[in-house]
Each structure stands twice: as C-alpha cells, then as structure tokens.
Amino acid sequence: MSTKKIIAVVVIVLALAGIVAGTILHGQAGIVKVATGKVVRQDLVSSVSGTGQIKPKTYVNVGATSFGRITHLYVKEGDHVHKGDVVARVESVQPEATVDAQQAAIASSKTDITSYVAAENTAQANIAQAKADLEQKKFDYDRAQALYNAQLIAKQDFDAKKAAYDVSAATLDQRIAALAQAKAQTDSQRAHLDQAVASQRANFDALDKTISRAPFDGLVTNVPVREGETVVVGIQNSEGSTLMTLADMSVITAEVKVDETDIVNVQLGQVADVTVDALPGKTFKGHVTEVGDQALLRSTGIATSQSTSGTEEANDFKVVVTLDQLPGEDLAELRPGLSTTAKITTAVRPNAVTIPIQALVQRDLATEKDLAAHAGKPATVSAATDASGAPVKPNLVQGVYLLTSTGGKLRANFVPVTTGVSGATEIEVLSGLAPADEIVIGRYQILRALKSGTLVKRDNSTPVATTTDDNSNS
C-alpha cells in the first residue's frame, strides 16, 4: 500500500472519530452530574447537645459562725466527711469563760432558792404556832367575857384578856404576811434562775459556734483557709469568712448550656448520655431534671434580664441533667467542675422514612412546576405582578429533587415534602416521598443551582479534594 493511501485512511479514521466524539459530546450537553441517594426506612434519633460542668445537686459553703483564730482544721480538700463530723474549731477562751461564769451564777441562784424555800417552811411553822396561840387566847377571852358579864371578874382583868387575844390575832396576820413574802422571794429567785438558764443556752450556742460540723455526708471540695488565720462572721453588707465548701456527691448533675434554637425540643425527663473530658471512653446515663426559663448571654453567662448591654448576641439556656445511680468507682472519679458534654435524646422515631438533611432545598413551587412542564426551560411569560404592579414574592417551600426516567432520559424534578424530627445527618419525611425513591443529595454547588426538568447523570464517586500551594507565590 502506498504512502498516500495510508495517509488517506488515517485521515478518514480521524474524521470518523471526531464525528463520533462530537455526537457524544452534543448528546451530553446540558446533562448535570449529581450525587444521588435513596429514601430509606430506619430508626431515627433526634438529639441536642450542650456543654458545661459536673456539679453536685447540693453543696454549701461552710462559713465562720464565730469571730476568732482557727485553732484546728481537721479536713483537707478531697476528704469525705459524714454528717455531724467536726471539721474545724475557732478559739473559744471567752465563750468558755462566759459559760463557766454563768454556770456559777446558776448554782448560786439554786442555793438562794433553797434558802428561800427553808424560809417559807419557817414562816409556815410560825403561822402554825400563831394559830395555836390565837386559839388559846380566844378561849381565855371567851371565858373572861362570860365571867365579866356575870360580874365575877374585874373590868381590868377582862381588858387584859381581850388585849392578849388581839395581839395574838395580829401576830398571826404578821406571820401570814411573812410567808407570802418568803414565797414571793422564792418565786423571784426561780425567775432569776430561769433567766440565767436561758442566758446559758445562748452562751452554749456561742460556744458551740466555735465548732464547725459537717451538715451532711459529702466531699470537701475547697478549703480556702489555714490554721492560725482569723475568721469573721458575716454581717448585713459584708460576707463572712468561708471555711470550706462541702458537696453532697450522692446526687451528681451535669449543668450544661443548650443553644436557644434547640431548647424548645428539651423537656423534663428526657434521657441523656453524659461524657466527661477527663474520663475518655466512659458514658454516664442521666435524665433532664431542670430546664431554665431565662436566656443567658453566651459571652458572659449573665441572664438577659440582668444585662445592661444593648448588643445582640447568641443566647443559651441552662439545662440540668441528673446522673442515674453510679457505681462506687465511677462516683469516686467524678469531681465538681469537670468539663462535660450532655447529649439529650429529644425524640425517637422507629422505622421512619428518612432522607439526608443536605438533600432539602427551598424553591418557588410555581416556578418549579413551570420548569418541569417545559423540560427545564421556563415558559416565556412575564413575571407575575400583584394589583399594584409590584412583583409577587416567590412562594418558597421545602422539598427535594426526585429522579424520574422518561424516554430513557433521567431528569430531576422538585417535589415538596413535609418533614418531622431531625437526626444527626438524616431528617424524617412525613409526606411527599416513599421508600426506595431516588433523590438528588448533592453536591452543594449543584443543588444550589439545580432546576426542575434538568437532565442529570448519576455521579456518586468520592470528590477529590484540591489543594493549593500557599507558598507557590512566595
């Protein structure tokens, strides 16, 4: 074969190849590569997360209840104490001396009462004697009066008997008065004794305040003072000295902050998984026991009602998750203040119809129907206007692009959907789709510009990340 013939054959082959390639490229013009996925049934769990700290449900700052120098400090941070244990003592010289002095005063009052009771008994005996004497004088007086009336004795003798009787009656009255006086003195001294005993209770209370005891079983989490330091009692406008902080670790909570967009889904009793940064690999079960009503500024943690700043910023809400009963070893590992994350389950949908969240888009329904009816090309009509001539705002609805095959060609058409709860990457579909339907799920740049009626081609390959050499221009 001659060289000219070979060249002619090659030219013909290249021409045919060009025609074929052109035909293929022309056929693929306008076809968009899209990532696709299927509508599936699966168990869907909706949850929200919040970060915060481990906190005991009950904790107190044990403050100084007496002024003075700390003489004994029996605990340190990390110690476990029981209710009633003595944890600290403040010097008690003056309260003890006051108690001793008052005790002596009480003993003296008791002795005085004994003396006054004896005086009562003496006065009682004197009254008995006076009554007997009065009775004798009454007999003498009656006999003398009878004799005088019979003119058997002289007037002088009769007057003497009457005078003796009157003196005896006066003596009885005097001794009755003395008994009343003795009883009054005894009652007065008993009142003084009661007053002294009441004062002694106050003295004992002041002495007892020099001893600090644990109010409940708990863990000592902070001891800001040392032996030898002087502590003071709080007054109206000034806080007193804090000896230590005691936490009741029998009930532990995770106090977290939840974003304001998620708080509407959080309710009391919902279960939660709590993880602690310091204990990797461990998950603690709990349930929501408190949902805050007051929004907190994210930057400062101050309630919005207390903020004087006029700037707008994101808000959080406090949520308290109480951990369920913990084993002893886990309880010992948890410390107040540890950073924690709570994942709260807000809804569970078994066997739900779901799609990937990224498949959802918002489109104007009328426009999409027009595009679908004209194979992706809108009808040449003027934009809709209202009675005043102003353009009508688009009626945006949420939906997905459903793949449909017509005449061997694959097209994407917008379908409105109604959604339910959201999971981490999936969302529940209540209406508009059926299991096994194939929809467009990406990529983002494609979905953002995709229109109904567009010819598409499946491309579920993993995109290759492109890198830029930042030093190429240096």
pLDDT for position 197: 93
* Residue 471 pLDDT grade (very low, low, confident, very high; cuts 50, 70, 90): very low
Higher-pLDDT residue of 197 and 25 is: 197
Q: Domains in the chain, ordered, with CATH?
A: 31-43+354-458 (2.40.420.20), 94-208 (1.10.287.620), 251-350 (2.40.30.170)
Q: Let me know the angle formed at the C-alpha of 361 by 360 and 364, rounded to the nearest 5 degrees.
A: 140
Letter string b/e over residues 423-432, b meaning 16 or more CB atoms within 10 A of that residue's CB: beebbbbeeb
CA pair distance 22, 17, nearest whole angstrom: 8
CA pair distance 303, 296, nearest whole angstrom: 4
Query: What digits encode the pLDDT tens for the residues 169-194?
Result: 999 999 999 999 999 999 999 999 99
pLDDT for position 36: 93
The answer to whether 186 touches 194, Cβ cutoff 8 Å, is no
pLDDT for position 157: 87
Please check the confidence at residue 363 and state whether its pLDDT lies above 60.
yes
Average pLDDT, whole number, for the chain? 86
Q: Name 454's bridge partners.
A: 412
Question: Long-range contacts of range 1-8, CB-CB < 8 Å, 24 or more positions apart?
Answer: none
Query: What digits encode the pLDDT tens for the residues 316-340?
Result: 999 999 998 776 666 678 888 899 9
* Tokens 């902050």 -> residue: 257
Per DSSP, 462 falls in state: P
* Tokens 């009328």 -> residue: 366
Per DSSP, 262 falls in state: T
Q: CB burial class (10 A; 0-12, 13-18, 19+) of residue 472? A: exposed
Two structure tokens written together for 194: 């009661």
Q: What is the mean pLDDT of residues 52-77?
A: 91
Work out the number of other CB atoms within 10 angstroms of the CB of residue 70.
21
Query: What digits encode the pLDDT tens for the residues 404-423?
Result: 988 788 999 999 999 999 88
CA pair distance 8, 245, nearest whole angstrom: 99
* Tokens 């029981």 -> residue: 82
The answer to whether 164 touches 137, Cβ cutoff 8 Å, is yes
pLDDT for position 99: 94
CA pair distance 341, 131, nearest whole angstrom: 94
Please check the confidence at residue 472 and state whether its pLDDT lies above 50.
no
Task: Tell me how far the alpha carbon of residue 388 is from its chain's centroid.
Answer: 56
Closest CA to 282 of 328, 320, 330: 330
The packing angle between helices 155-208 and 93-149, to 10°, is: 170
Helix (H) or strand (E) holding 121: helix 93-149
* Residue 431 pLDDT grade (very low, low, confident, very high; cuts 50, 70, 90): very high
Q: Is the pTM of this model over 0.75?
A: no
Query: What digits encode the pLDDT tens for the residues 220-279?
Result: 989 999 999 999 998 877 888 999 999 988 888 999 999 998 999 999 999 999 999 999
- What sign does the CA torsion over 215, 217, 222, 226 have? positive
Tell me which amino acid residue 288 is. V
